[in-house]
Amino acid sequence: MKRAIVLVLDSFGIGAAADADKFGDQGSDTLGNIAAACQQGKADIGRQGPLTLPNLATLGLFHAHQESTGQLAAGVSLPTEVLGSYGYAKEISSGKDTPSGHWELAGVPVLFEWGYFLQTENSFPAELIDDLVRQAKLPGILGNKHASGTTILEQLGEEHIHTGKPVCYTSADSVFQIAAHEQHFGLERLYQLCEIARELLMPYNIGRVIARPFVGESAAEFARTGNRRDYSIAPPAPTVLQKLVEEQQGQVVSIGKIADIYAHVGITRKVKATGMDALFDATLSELGRAGNNTLIMTNFVDFDSSFGHRRNIAGYAAELEAFDRRLPELLALLAPDDLLILTADHGCDPSWKGTEHTREHVPVLCLGAGLSAGSLGLRGTFADVGQSLAHYFGTSAMDYGTSFL
Ligand SMILES: O=P(O)(O)O[C@H]1O[C@H](CO)[C@@H](O)[C@H]1O
Ligand SMILES: [Mn+2]
Ligand SMILES: [Mn+2]
């Protein structure tokens, strides 16, 4: 029986990539800088002391990080024995955004340039906003700049409630984000607005429109909800997900944001869950019912959206430790032929300047399917994951990547 479980720890980089300087990210290291802060006692909120990840360590996480950076992460304990095959992968896609990272993991790197809104203020062309306001019958928009999604709610959330104008913002990523209140503006209305924006943004080559619903009545209370929805363009070529479904009549189970990221292409079942524990619970229960030729893919978004972008080191460390504590539950369910892969789609170093992603290597931690324990070394593209899945499931080969199976 062939079953693969791919867990994407959204933004869990393990050291700056060779081309990090092109992104201003030389020296970024999501895992390493979190571990250093923990060891220095600078991440003692809701947790204590050195970073403790015994189960990830057994899969080879700290070994992979050490190979990636040349240094052992500060204050961590190496396991007596490594059970998994571990490596670190570099990204060949032009951007460090989520769709690029994910699609490359699935065997389809993004070698073209996305469109970006480069101006940090007045970011959007007037024509685009005029069309959006007219087609969606809006009184106008707020924002129109680069922003952190939580900061801009503190600044403009109340004005949004009073005026009915949605908050539109962007970042260094190829995104158009729309924040609106779930009740005052309406969740369905926000989704409809995003669909209009998705159409209008096609000529601008923007990767994603993101609905950012929130609740609360004042700046101090505003909280974004799990009803976020991403409107991505479709991957530029068939991913390994799509090949598994079309060539092997396989099943691809999306848990969390996966289906949205792949524009719902190559997905046979979608499970929504909010928060790390719920995502983990869903992964376990889907594994319990998974039959032959099934790929279960889960995106643990909170590492990125709740901690990485928020530059919350202690929160990121606590979330990693909580994830690590749950890993034995998953390992106990694995059959010998199953293939488990833990990886990430980019970095988002919470100790770094600004609030953006960081260009980093990602971990590739594998267990099962006859793999022997030890190093897989530097993987030349994230697509090695997709090529390995293609090999495992016996689909036609991907155009990029080298299988480690
Ligand atoms: O600050 P928030 O709204 O979390 O946005 C972040 O999330 C977006 C998608 O990952 C990125 O482009 C970044 O801007
Ligand atoms: Mn991501
Ligand atoms: Mn992100």
The reported pLDDT for the residue numbered 297 is: 98
Cα(309) to ligand 1 centroid in Å equals 7
Q: What is the CA radius of gyration of the chain?
A: 21
CB-based neighbours (< 5 A) of ligand 2, an ion? 10, 98, 304, 345
Q: How confident is the model at residue 185 (pLDDT cuts 50, 70, 90)?
A: very high
Q: How confident is the model at residue 302 (pLDDT cuts 50, 70, 90)?
A: very high
Mean pLDDT value across residues 289-304: 98
132-171: pLDDT as tens digits: 999 999 999 999 999 999 999 999 999 999 999 999 999 9
Residue to mutate (ligand 1; options 145, 177, 208, 300; most atoms within 8 A of CB): 177
- Which backbone phi and psi does 168 adopt, to 5 degrees? -110, 130
The reported pLDDT for the residue numbered 35 is: 98
Percent of the chain as helix, strand, coil, to the nearest 5: 35, 20, 45
| Architecture of the domain made up of 126-232 | 2-Layer Sandwich (3.30)
- Residue 369, token pair as written in the block: 């399917």
- Rounded to the nearest angstrom, the gap between the alpha carbon of residue 158 and the centroid of all alpha carbons in its chain is 29
Q: What is the DSSP letter of 46?
A: S
The reported pLDDT for the residue numbered 123 is: 98
The reported pLDDT for the residue numbered 233 is: 96
Q: How confident is the model at residue 1 (pLDDT cuts 50, 70, 90)?
A: very high
Q: How confident is the model at residue 110 (pLDDT cuts 50, 70, 90)?
A: very high
Q: How confident is the model at residue 392 (pLDDT cuts 50, 70, 90)?
A: very high
Whole-model pTM: value is 0.96
* Closest ligand to the CA of 345: 2
CA distance between the termini of the chain: 16
- Identify the burial level of 296 via C-beta atoms within 10 angstroms of its C-beta, where 0-12 means exposed, 13-18 middle and 19 or more buried: buried
Residue to mutate (ligand 1; options 145, 309, 346; most atoms within 8 A of CB): 309
Asked if 25 and 16 touch (Cβ cutoff 8 Å), the reply is yes
* Closest ligand to the CA of 11: 2
Percent of the chain predicted with pLDDT > 90: 100
| 399 annotated ligand binder | no
Q: How confident is the model at residue 264 (pLDDT cuts 50, 70, 90)?
A: very high
CATH 3.40.720.10 fits 3-112+236-393, yes or no: yes
If you average pLDDT over every residue of the chain, what do you get? Answer: 98
Query: For ligand 1, what atom is nearest to the CA of residue 98?
Result: 10
Give, in degrees to the nearest 5, the angle at Cα 131 between 203 and 99.
40
Q: How confident is the model at residue 384 (pLDDT cuts 50, 70, 90)?
A: very high
Residue to mutate (ligand 1; options 173, 209, 301, 357; most atoms within 8 A of CB): 173
According to CATH, where is 3.40.720.10 located in the chain? 3-112+236-393
According to CATH, where is 3.30.70.1250 located in the chain? 126-232
73-102: pLDDT as tens digits: 999 989 999 999 999 999 999 999 999 999
329-341: pLDDT as tens digits: 999 999 999 999 9
Query: For ligand 1, what atom is nearest to the CA of residue 151?
Result: 1
Mean pLDDT value across residues 51-72: 98
Residues with CB under 6 A from ligand 1: 98, 148-149, 171, 173, 175, 177, 305, 309, 355
The reported pLDDT for the residue numbered 51 is: 98
| HEC-encoded secondary structure of 253-293 | EEECCHHHHCCCCCCCEEECCCCHHHHHHHHHHHHHHCCCC
**Which residues are bridge partners to 254 per DSSP?**
270, 297
